[in-house]
Chains A and B, each alone.
Chain A
Amino acid sequence: MEEQEAITRLKRGDIGGLAALVRKYQVQAVQTAYLVTRDRALAEDIVQAAFLRAYERIGQFDARRPFGPWFLRSVVNDAVKAAARRERQVSLETGSEGEETSLADLLADPGPGPEDLVETEEIRQTVWAALGKLPPVQRAAIVLRYYLDLSEAEMADELACPPGTVKWRLHAAQKRLRTLLRPLWSAVSGPGHGE
């Protein structure tokens, strides 16, 4: 069933439309929520609740817009709230929004870096651990940017916040992630690694 047809049916109260939307978006939604909450069971709960909420609010949804971004927005927001609730972090972040820094600048390492990175379980776990050290809202920025491949403008729309706020959150997240991953580069940049 095409998405347009699924939404039309759902607006008429046909839960077959919801079933189609669930099957189309469930994996991506749970994976997204998992990357933010770091808890598989919690991620599934969040996505289930989001689908139920979408069912309740489908009457407000403009069928001319794609369903995915509208749906994933609520998933991401709920995941951030859930993660923050669990982690009880104090988000008293300050930072400047005026600095225009490209992603390449942030990710580039002044020293010899692993251009040909071998993807091993150890590397994945190191990245996973580093993500865990980010506040949920910054983690979500990383997930939206790199996992969902959204532009900053799309992220602003997804998070319903000003582009400047998105830029700053992403900047802060990238900066902190780079610091946390620096030991990884040092380890892989030893003899026989890197360039």
Chain B
Amino acid sequence: MKEQQVAQILQELAEQEVSASLDLWPAIQARLQPHRRVSQWTRFMPATRLGWASLGLILFLALGAAAYAVTPILSRVSQMEAGLQHIEQAKLGQELNLSQTVDGITVTLQWVYADANRLVVGFTVNGPKDLPDNHALSPARVTLTDAAGTAFPGSVGYGVTGQSDILKVSLPSGEGAYLFTFDAAPIEGEPAELDLQLVMEVETYVVPTPVPPTPGVYEDRGSLDPVVPVATAGPFTFDFSVPFIPGRTIEVQQTAEAAGVAVRLERVVVTPSETRAILCFVPPDGKSEQWLPNVTLSTAGGQTYVAGPVYYEEQVFTMDRSAITTVSRIGEGACYLYSVLTPLDDQSGEWTLMVTELVGFDLVRLGEQTRLAGPWVFHFVVE
């Protein structure tokens, strides 16, 4: 078969199924509205689990019990993640409204929440009224510690400043609303409440001008100029107490084997804001830092949540906030954290967690993968 014939057959196969009258525009237009390009909002994660990047645009959620004064912007922002939206609507958490002003900048810690999976703080930043238009403020070096000085690792953060088409808000210059979450792993036992300290600084920076990518360089290497703060205010320090929600911990302690690899499901922790599973395995080459599992969780109610290296990117790009899932390695060991950021705390019965594949990434030959097919299946009861 000659090349031209192969090409012709492929063309015919394609045209047989996909005609020239195809029109995707109505469907794209319909999906476009909630995906309007936002230049002043982002969901971001710190470079490491030890703290926050100095620059972040995150969004803020204020929750409340009956005495809450939930601002519309914070309620709207909570909708960006199902777990946070749930605890907002369920009116969990503690309203504080503690304010501090340093060098003309006021930080107000409005609301806090704590469960066995994560801790959440919500605050606003208000700068001086004469802040130049091309200047912005950003929280920096945000840390959360308990009474013993144990630091909680930073997790996911959200925030908003200026105008946001997605959130349908428009904040005056110098104002921002922020939500930070922290990993609750250091908490031991089930205390009734936690005594915590939140410390941060606020940096003032000049909003950089976008720089076009260099010709010949892949488009995703285009970047903004480096951001250098022009001023730093603080520290802002808040001491407070927050009720602790233990959730449900299921010590599964099961091991399954496939493809010559044993995978162990240690435990599952279900709280209002998140569901976590701890999985451990030693990959064939022993290089745990290069492997991730593809995981599927099925509840008794029939919902299914998937996560893994091939799924996460899809979720971010499609901006599907209904069930964000992640999987990541824990520390430097051979265990991995599978997380579902959607509320499952009202679910009970028999659940199934299945590791469908183990994916090994070649850190030298980027793009090369080794995939071990499972499955490794675990059944457990959530009461």
A contact residues vs B (CB 8 Å cutoff): 13, 15, 18-19, 22-23, 26-27, 30-32, 34-35, 40, 43-44, 47-49, 51-53, 55-62, 64-65, 70, 81, 84-85, 88-92, 103, 107, 113-115, 117, 119, 123-124, 127-128, 142-143, 146-147, 149, 159-161, 165, 181, 185
Chain B 24-43 interface 0/1 with A at a Cβ cutoff of 8 Å (1 = within): 11011101100101000000
- Residue in A51, A81, A85, A103 whose CB lies within 8 Å of B3: A103
Among residues of A, the one whose C-beta sits closest to the C-beta of B210 is: A59
On whether A146 and B24 interact (CB within 8 A), knowing A52-B35, A88-B357, the answer reads no
- Does B129 have its Cβ within 8 Å of any Cβ on chain A? no
On whether A49 and B373 interact (CB within 8 A), knowing A119-B12, A147-B10, the answer reads no
On whether A51 and B8 interact (CB within 8 A), knowing A107-B2, A160-B218, the answer reads no
- Residue in A30, A53, A84, A146 whose CB lies within 8 Å of B7: A146
Do B371 and A90 have beta carbons less than 8 Å apart? yes
- Does B67 have its Cβ within 8 Å of any Cβ on chain A? no
Do A57 and B219 have beta carbons less than 8 Å apart? yes
Residues in B with CB closer than 8 Å to A40 are: 17-18
Do B1 and A107 have beta carbons less than 8 Å apart? yes
On whether A81 and B310 interact (CB within 8 A), knowing A57-B219, A90-B372, A146-B6, the answer reads yes
Do A62 and B373 have beta carbons less than 8 Å apart? no
B71: shortest Cβ distance to chain A, in Å? 28
Do B215 and A19 have beta carbons less than 8 Å apart? no
Residues in B with CB closer than 8 Å to A13 are: 37
Q: Which 5 A-B pairs have the closest CB atoms?
A: A31-B14, A147-B10, A60-B222, A146-B7, A31-B18
Do B23 and A127 have beta carbons less than 8 Å apart? no
Do B12 and A22 have beta carbons less than 8 Å apart? no
Residues in A with CB closer than 8 Å to B24 are: 22, 26, 30, 44, 47-48, 51
Chain B 299-329 interface 0/1 with A at a Cβ cutoff of 8 Å (1 = within): 0000000000011001001100000000000
- Determine the distance from Cα of A26 to Cα of B21 in the docked complex, in whole angstroms: 10
Residues in B with CB closer than 8 Å to A89 are: 371
A-B contact pairs, 13 of them (CB 8 A): A32-B14, A52-B32, A56-B35, A56-B37, A57-B219, A59-B222, A88-B357, A90-B373, A91-B369, A117-B5, A127-B6, A146-B7, A165-B365
- Determine the distance from Cα of A49 to Cα of B310 in the docked complex, in whole angstroms: 15
Among residues of B, the one whose C-beta sits closest to the C-beta of A64 is: B215
Do A35 and B7 have beta carbons less than 8 Å apart? no
Residues in A with CB closer than 8 Å to B219 are: 57, 60-62, 65, 70
Q: Is the interface of A mostly helix, strand, loop or mixed?
A: helix
Do B20 and A27 have beta carbons less than 8 Å apart? yes
- Does B253 have its Cβ within 8 Å of any Cβ on chain A? no
On whether A124 and B13 interact (CB within 8 A), knowing A60-B219, A160-B367, the answer reads yes
- Residue in B17, B213, B218, B318 whose CB lies within 8 Å of A49: B318
- Residue in A30, A55, A117 whose CB lies within 8 Å of B35: A55
Do B367 and A161 have beta carbons less than 8 Å apart? yes
On whether A27 and B18 interact (CB within 8 A), knowing A119-B9, A124-B13, the answer reads yes
On whether A48 and B373 interact (CB within 8 A), knowing A103-B3, A107-B3, A147-B7, the answer reads no
A75: shortest Cβ distance to chain B, in Å? 12
Known: A103-B3, A181-B1. 14 other contacts (CB 8 A): A18-B32, A30-B18, A35-B13, A40-B17, A40-B18, A52-B317, A57-B219, A60-B220, A81-B314, A88-B357, A90-B373, A107-B6, A127-B10, A142-B10
Among residues of B, the one whose C-beta sits closest to the C-beta of A149 is: B7
- Does B22 have its Cβ within 8 Å of any Cβ on chain A? yes
Do A62 and B213 have beta carbons less than 8 Å apart? yes
Chain B 217-253 interface 0/1 with A at a Cβ cutoff of 8 Å (1 = within): 0111010000000000000000000000000000000
- Determine the distance from Cα of A161 to Cα of B212 in the docked complex, in whole angstroms: 23
- Determine the distance from Cα of A165 to Cα of B310 in the docked complex, in whole angstroms: 21
Residues in A with CB closer than 8 Å to B356 are: 88
Residues in A with CB closer than 8 Å to B11 are: 147
On whether A127 and B28 interact (CB within 8 A), knowing A90-B371, A114-B1, the answer reads no
B230: shortest Cβ distance to chain A, in Å? 25
On whether A48 and B28 interact (CB within 8 A), knowing A57-B219, A59-B210, A146-B6, the answer reads yes
A95: shortest Cβ distance to chain B, in Å? 13
